[in-house]
Amino acid sequence: MSELFQSERHFKVWAYSVSHCRLLLRATKEGGLPSRIDLYFSGVDRMLLRPHYQGIRVAVADPLEVEEYHRRFGEIPPRYTLFTLEPDLAGFVVAGIMQSHEDEGGFQDPSFFGRFD
């Protein structure tokens, strides 16, 4: 398992674009925090998410997790990656890429990764 991102902050499912298969999870500046953090997934093929996460860890699935995914959910398309959000595949995103960005943007300011409307 290769960890890509980890934070103890509160993340919410912020936006999803069906037409462009993009997903945005966001930790806002609530509680006096000086920054927001966006987690961006592009080329989303499948996902299993909770509406919010108190702390999050995004990792590229290890071979055993990929095998379990295949058993439970089917094949992962070529050039896609299984990103785990929780143990035992309780939360995951199958997507082309995952990126993170931290900035001082406001609650409703567009993401560094573009608009989702």
Annotated domain spans of the chain: 2-103
Average pLDDT of the chain? Answer: 94
pLDDT at 1: 60
Q: Which tens digits make up the pLDDT trace of 61-111? A: 999 999 999 999 999 999 999 999 998 899 999 999 999 999 999 888 899
Tokens describing residue 57: 């860890």
pLDDT at 3: 87
Does 32 have pLDDT greater than 90? Answer: no
For residue 115, give the 3-state DSSP assignment. Answer: coil
pLDDT at 78: 94
Higher pLDDT, 51 or 30: 51
C-alpha to C-alpha distance for 57 and 33, rounded to whole angstroms: 19
Task: Give percent of the chain above pLDDT 90.
Answer: 84
- Residue of 62, 54, 65 lying closest to 25 (CA atoms): 54
